[in-house]
């Protein structure tokens, strides 16, 4: 499995298995179990996905050494006040039934990010978390919160795909030695991307699927990718991208597809308030 080295010296698998919107009715357990059996060694979950427990069950019952599986989870913005964050980190560990989490992220960059980050830095020092990072941080939001980072985030997980290549953000993160992670690396199946003539042409040229062309492009751009599927053939297909390379010319063809438009704009007014109103991670407490 290809890895990237984070700014804290830890290594992260270049591709992970995303679990967003996979229900916690046994489906997450089954999907993660399938992904691990196929060869994934990086699983991405979050408190607000409500499926940490099933992710942990699959990891613990996989028969794979714990140190060979990379687990990411995320802190929800309900719990950004310092004491709440301390408790929430421990609850994530309990739900996952793990001694440590490889990567823990600020899920949404609103509210008391400074207090949440302090709690995460302390958890890292205590060995509860190996690496810490952020998610959905635009250039504007990064500049708003950067002064509260005693420990520079290891990653910034954002929407990233050929239609939204995050050019300005990529340049800023590169200067800070922060790696980008891609959620929605396949634009959530948007036909405008999957059926684009350039992507179709390259799929034929390399005898690969359109998804494999897109994921390989992102990988060669140095972005950690987190494709998600509950279908065995697609889970396997998304991992099978390391036996070919796109030429420089073909990379440039895909780069030209960039519109800097996507599914979500974290800078829109009221996003934080909407998220708090619509996701209650304590509803079953």
- If residue 252 lies in a helix (H) or strand (E), which one and from where to where? helix 248-255
The answer to whether residues 76 and 105 touch, using CB atoms and an 8 Å cutoff, is no
The answer to whether residues 39 and 67 touch, using CB atoms and an 8 Å cutoff, is no
Cβ partners under 8 Å of residue 43, min gap 6:
16, 17, 19, 32, 35, 36, 55, 58, 59, 69, 70, 71, 72
Cβ partners under 8 Å of residue 247, min gap 6:
none
CA pair distance 64, 83, nearest whole angstrom: 34
* The token pair that represents 215 in the structure block: 């994921």
CA pair distance 108, 266, nearest whole angstrom: 8
* Per annotation, catalytic residue among 49, 70, 110, 160: 49
Task: Kindly report each contact of residues 28-36 with a partner whose C-beta sits within 8 Å and lies 24 or more positions away, as own/partner.
Answer: 28/54, 28/55, 28/58, 29/54, 29/55, 29/57, 29/58, 30/230, 31/229, 31/230, 31/235, 32/58, 32/59, 33/58, 33/61, 33/62, 34/232, 34/235, 35/235, 36/62, 36/64, 36/69
Annotation says 49 is catalytic = yes
DSSP state of 157: E
Question: In the chain, how long is the greatest CA-to-CA distance?
Answer: 55
Active-site annotation, residues:
49
């Amino acid at each position: 499995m290809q890895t990237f080295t984070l700014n804290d010296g830890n290594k992260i698998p270049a591709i992970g298995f995303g679990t967003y919107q996979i229900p916690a009715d046994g489906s997450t357990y089954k999907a993660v179990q399938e992904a691990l059996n196929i060869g994934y060694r990086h699983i991405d979950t979050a408190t607000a996905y409500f499926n940490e427990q099933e992710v942990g069950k699959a990891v613990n019952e996989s028969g794979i050494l714990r140190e060979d599986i990379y687990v990411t989870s995320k802190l929800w913005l309900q719990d950004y006040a310092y004491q709440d964050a301390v408790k929430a980190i421990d609850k994530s560990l309990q739900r996952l039934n793990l001694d440590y989490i490889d990567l823990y992220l600020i899920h949404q960059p609103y509210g008391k990010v400074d207090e949440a980050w302090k709690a995460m830095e302390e958890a890292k020092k205590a060995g509860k978390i190996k690496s810490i990072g952020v998610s959905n941080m635009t250039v504007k939001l990064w500049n708003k919160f950067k002064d509260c980072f005693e420990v520079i985030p290891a990653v910034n997980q954002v929407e990233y795909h050929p239609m939204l290549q995050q050019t300005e953000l990529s340049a800023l993160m590169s200067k800070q030695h922060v790696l980008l992670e891609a959620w929605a690396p396949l634009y959530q199946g948007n036909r405008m991307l999957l059926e684009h003539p350039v992507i179709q042409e390259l799929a034929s040229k390399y005898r690969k699927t359109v998804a494999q062309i897109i994921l390989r492009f992102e990988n060669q751009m140095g972005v950690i990718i987190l494709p998600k599927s509950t279908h065995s053939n697609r889970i396997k297909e998304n991992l099978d991208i390391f036996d070919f390379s796109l030429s420089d010319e073909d990379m440039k063809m895909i780069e030209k597809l960039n519109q800097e438009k996507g599914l979500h704009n974290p800078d829109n007014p009221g996003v934080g308030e909407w998220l708090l109103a619509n996701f209650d991670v304590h509803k079953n407490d």
